[in-house]
Amino acid sequence: MDTLEDYILWMGDYSFSAVGMKDADALILCLLSYVDLRAAFAAGHERARLEDIERLIPADKAEIMLIGDRTAYRRIYALAAHSRRFGELTLSDYTDVRSAQPPLQFSAVCFHAQDWSFLAFRGTDSSFSGWKEDFMISFTRTEGQSMAVQAAAAVIAPGRKWYMGGHSKGGNEALYAAYMLPDEKWEQIERVFLLDGPGLCTEVCDLSRSERVNARTTCIIPEYCVIGKLFEPQIQNTRIVRSTASGLLQHGLATWGIDHGKPACAEKNDSQSIWLSEILNLWIKEIAPEERPQFVEELFDALSSGGAMTTDEFEENGWQNWDAMLKQLKGASEATKRAISRLPKKALQFVLNQFWDRLTAEEPEKE
């Protein structure tokens, strides 16, 4: 099984004019949207080639906005920038906005080839603002979703093919924009890529345009899929990709396998991940919609009560932050305490139900 790095080494000498867009290219562009490009566009430059950007922000200096080991992402960034295929791409319309109130972590960038453009939305970084926004999709339209629609409407224009996509929360924003774009803008869209991103909550989003979105959307999820199963989007063209990682680490784009420019497909999702995603979906549905805003507010107030503003900072002083969080949650509303207590109960109930279903299914039929 090849990796994204292998794909760049294999296809890097071929321009997009010689060999057109493949699914692996979409994965790489969505991965590159995680690179912090503020330094490259700080001087007011509106457009720049990826090769030139990498000279300004070399891989060892680039801040790849992802949780976990960033080494593979830096290698992919460097390989792509030094290749003909990706290095010649022009980048524009870079946006990077964050705020604590309202919770917002939004970033997008356009990649331009000769006859097409790709609008990529960045997924969640390590900031609590970004993670809080993720939780908010269960009860409201987020600031990031609104900005995604605005960004798409502002840049999409006739005269070329347009692609749109993102990984994780970025995929959710791309999906939301696909639903909300006016018809004249939507007609320019060739394909939308939803890469292990959550779907849209039916309680806060009108899904009447499902047919048009489904027809032009490719959804790719790893074998061990949890994030992409939240409010699971019903996309007909959904592929399960194999990964070089295990468990939840398969969420990382750099771990996904490639087979001749396409995802290295698996037959089905890992059974443990199905179990975990079903528990989470059931848990979320049991929290009443009117209780979700308070739950999210109190949960993230508790997470930041020890002074941490990112997951990295929370891990650095783990015991101190856990202690502060638990003390804060003692004063939370009864609705929040009830929601938190339901998760382990729901997991236990689900396990017992699964065990009973298997036990009764294996019983021989009585004559």
Taking residues 18-32, report their average pLDDT. Answer: 97
Cα 311 to the chain's mean position, in Å? 17
Tell me how far apart the terminal alpha carbons of the chain are, to the nearest angstrom. 50
Low-confidence winner among 58-62, 63-67, 97-101 (lowest mean pLDDT): 63-67
317 compared with 75, residue with greater pLDDT: 75
Q: What share of the chain is helix, strand, coil (3-state, %, to 5)?
A: 50, 15, 35
Mutual angle of helices 23-32 and 71-81, in 10-degree steps:
110
pLDDT band at 265; cut points 50, 70, 90: very high
Taking residues 233-243, report their average pLDDT. Answer: 94
* Ordered domains of the chain (ranges, CATH): 4-270 (3.40.50), 287-354 (no CATH)
Residue 113 in tokens: 């080839």
Please check the confidence at residue 320 and state whether its pLDDT lies above 50: yes
Strand-pair partners of 95? 108
50 compared with 328, residue with greater pLDDT: 50
Closest CA to 33 of 103, 99, 114, 125: 125
pLDDT band at 345; cut points 50, 70, 90: low
pLDDT band at 32; cut points 50, 70, 90: very high
DSSP codes of every residue in 126-194: SBHHHHHHHHHTTTS--HHHHHHHHHHHHH--SSSEEEEEEETHHHHHHHHHHHHS-HHHHTTEEEEEE
What does pTM read for this prediction? Answer: 0.86
Return the pLDDT at 47: 92
Return the pLDDT at 176: 94
Torsion on CA atoms 264, 241, 355, 284, rounded to nearest 10:
-170
Taking residues 31-58, report their average pLDDT. Answer: 90
Return the pLDDT at 366: 46
Return the pLDDT at 353: 60
Q: By percentage, how much of the chain surpasses pLDDT 70?
A: 87
Q: Per-residue pLDDT tens for 171-200?
A: 999 999 999 999 999 999 999 999 999 888
Report the C-alpha gap between 110 and 114 in whole angstroms.
13
160 compared with 350, residue with greater pLDDT: 160
Helix H or strand E encompassing 19: none
Please check the confidence at residue 230 and state whether its pLDDT lies above 90: no
Helix H or strand E encompassing 289: none
Return the pLDDT at 263: 96
